[in-house]
Amino acid sequence: MMYNYMDTRYQAGTKGLRFALKNNIDIMVMEPIRGGQLAKEPPEEIKKLWNTFRVKRTYADGALQWVWNHKDISLVLSGMTTLQQIKENIESANNAKAGIFSEKELELFKKIRRTYLKRSPIRCTSCKYCEPCPQGVAISSCLGAYMMSKIYDDLERPKMIYNNFIKEENRADKCIECGECEPKCPQNIPIIESLKEAHKLISE
């Protein structure tokens, strides 16, 4: 399952983790650093929070340790592309220990998560009430990639997702502004304008 301190409610999430453990199912975690997004230099407001941790860690090590802090997780899968990353992950694994973070530090992770999420100009929950679009636009997927670019101040991963995993005929520029989606949105998101901004920002 995908699991990191940002994605505690995505896919199976923490509820799924607890369900698996209750039913004696071993857990293998993927995306502990969210494809590298939690390893890169964060926005200034996140840095300030990070610097209040009792032990100074790299962003990648902190993200990995957050996963390993859960005593019942069997295996953590982390993608690595350089020898330096391999060395750093080995060192992090050697220092891993369940229960390494205090309750206060775990609350700090939650605060970091909330601060990241506040950076998004919209709050799409992927409820998909706005879909299906008459033109076939994958509204929630397009808005999800757009939000990601803003939350993490990162264009590389959202562009990869938008241009490789969303079919051309389902991308945001296929919106004809019929307006059928907006009254259905529980979050009152200005979907039409957000789709325009999304395509402008993360299309090739």
Give the start-to-end residue ranges of the domains of the chain.
13-118, 139-202
Q: Which architecture, in CATH terms, is 13-118?
A: Alpha-Beta Barrel (3.20)
Question: Is pLDDT of 79 > 90?
Answer: no
Question: Is pLDDT of 143 > 90?
Answer: yes
Question: Which of 16-20, 51-55, 90-94, 108-112 has maximum average pLDDT?
Answer: 108-112
What does the pLDDT read at residue 103?
95
Q: How confident is the model at residue 204 (pLDDT cuts 50, 70, 90)?
A: confident
What does the pLDDT read at residue 144?
95
Half-sphere exposure of 49 (CA within 13 A, CB side): 21
Whose CA is closest to 96, among 82, 113, 75? 75
Beta strands in 16-124 (DSSP E): 27-29, 73-76
Contact predicate 73/29, CB 8 Å: yes
| Percentage of residues of the chain with pLDDT beyond 70 | 100
29, with CB counted inside 10 A (0-12, 13-18, 19+), is: buried
- Compute the distance between CA of residue 202 and CA of residue 22 in angstroms, rounded to an integer: 41
pLDDT in tens, 9-33: 888 899 999 999 899 999 999 999 9
User: Residue 159 forms beta bridges with which residues?
Assistant: none
What does the pLDDT read at residue 138?
97
What does the pLDDT read at residue 134?
96
Distances (CA, A) of 136 to 7, 95, 129, 145, 198: 27, 48, 14, 17, 16
> Residues 92, 98, 99, CA angle at the centre, nearest 5°?
115
Question: Is pLDDT of 192 > 90?
Answer: yes
pLDDT in tens, 158-179: 999 999 999 999 999 999 999 9
Question: Is pLDDT of 74 > 90?
Answer: no
- Compute the distance between CA of residue 57 and CA of residue 66 in angstroms, rounded to an integer: 12
What does the pLDDT read at residue 160?
94
Q: Mean pLDDT over residues 63-85, rounded?
A: 91
Per DSSP, the three-state class of 17 is helix
The sign of the torsion formed by the CA atoms of 36, 41, 43, 49 equals: positive
pTM of the model: 0.85
Non-local CB neighbours of 13 within 8 Å, separated by 6+ positions: 3, 7
